[in-house]
Amino acid sequence: MFNHLDKSTYLDAKKKVPLKPIIAPSLLACDFSRLFEESSSVLSADGGASEWLHVDVMDGHFVPNISIGSVVVSSLRKALPQAFLDCHLMVSHPEQWVDDFASAGASQYTFHIEATTSPKGLIDAIRAKGMQVGVALKPGTPASSVFELCDADLVDMVLVMTVEPGFGGQSFMSNMMPKVLELRTKYPALNIQVDGGLGPSTIAAAAEAGANVIVAGTSVFRAPSRKQVTDELRDCVAKAIATRSHL
Ligand SMILES: O=C(CO)[C@@H](O)[C@H](O)COP(=O)(O)O
Ligand SMILES: [Fe+2]
């Protein structure tokens, strides 16, 4: 399993070696009264087999919903010292929470490009605290808004939202796939995450467009076999990566 300090995925992207499929179940769809069991069920080898855990942080301002904050990340880190905690900050002032999430043990800090006027300063602050950096785009935000950051190799991952952020269980927006394809064409070695409505019926479109990091909440946590769905998602991404590498 992945140590949260393990930078292998980031280094892979820097070294331009082939991308890895990464599945990140969103805890928003789990039973929060059993957070540890739910988290370990998707990470452990026999209950599940995911690489990352996706933690959705909502402030009731950037999005019309409130979820969880750094205290929960801190508890997860203590209970799951090796887990890669992929934190998706749907908050209006992402600069405000960098220190708290770093102290809590977040592995990656993904902020929304729409929520900041100084992304480079924010990225510096995130890196200074030892976290990987992700930048997220709402459905209405063009890929070009992160070209400058990607061209300068400042981010480890771009998150393309495939629903309006704020709630789990929404329908996948297939019209976001040209955005994923545009990013993949320009940045062959970048981790590109998709988030919202991903599951067995939508994974092919996302994988073929070029996404390699897949957030899946409802489809994993509500499945009869979480491991089976996780493996199905990963296989589909792996096939798409292999196909692209032979083109
Ligand atoms: O960031 C978000 C929603 O804002 C996501 O991470 C969702 O929580 C994904 O849930 P499903 O659509 O897979 O149920
Ligand atoms: Fe998310």
pLDDT in tens, 24-54: 999 999 999 999 999 999 997 556 689 999 9
Please, what's the b/e burial string for 177-193 (b: 16 or more CB within 10 A of its CB; e: otherwise)? bebbbbbbeebeebbbb
Which pTM was predicted? 0.93
Domain count, the chain: 1
pLDDT in tens, 59-105: 999 999 999 999 999 999 999 999 999 999 999 999 999 999 999 99
Residue 9, domain member (yes or no): no
Residue 51, domain member (yes or no): yes
Helix 35-43 to helix 226-245 angle (10° resolution) is 40
Residue 173, domain member (yes or no): yes
Residue 7, domain member (yes or no): no
Q: Which of 88, 86, 111 shows the shortest CA–CA distance to 9?
A: 86
- Token digits of residue 36: 């540890």
Answer yes or no: 86 catalytic: no
Return residues with CB closer than 5 A to ligand 2 (ion): 56, 88, 195
Residue 8, domain member (yes or no): no
Going from the Cα of 139 to the center of ligand 1, the distance in angstroms, rounded, reads 13
Distances (CA, A) of 139 to 20, 52, 66, 100, 213: 25, 23, 20, 28, 17
| Ligand index nearest the alpha carbon of residue 88 | 2
- Token digits of residue 98: 């960098």
Q: Residue 156 is part of which domain span?
A: 19-245
Residue 143, domain member (yes or no): yes
DSSP class per residue in 29-60 = GS-GGGHHHHHHHHHSTTT---SEEEEEEEBS
Residue 197, domain member (yes or no): yes
Residue 46, domain member (yes or no): yes
Residue written as token pair 């070009």: 144
- What CATH code is carried by the domain that includes residue 124? 3.20.20.70
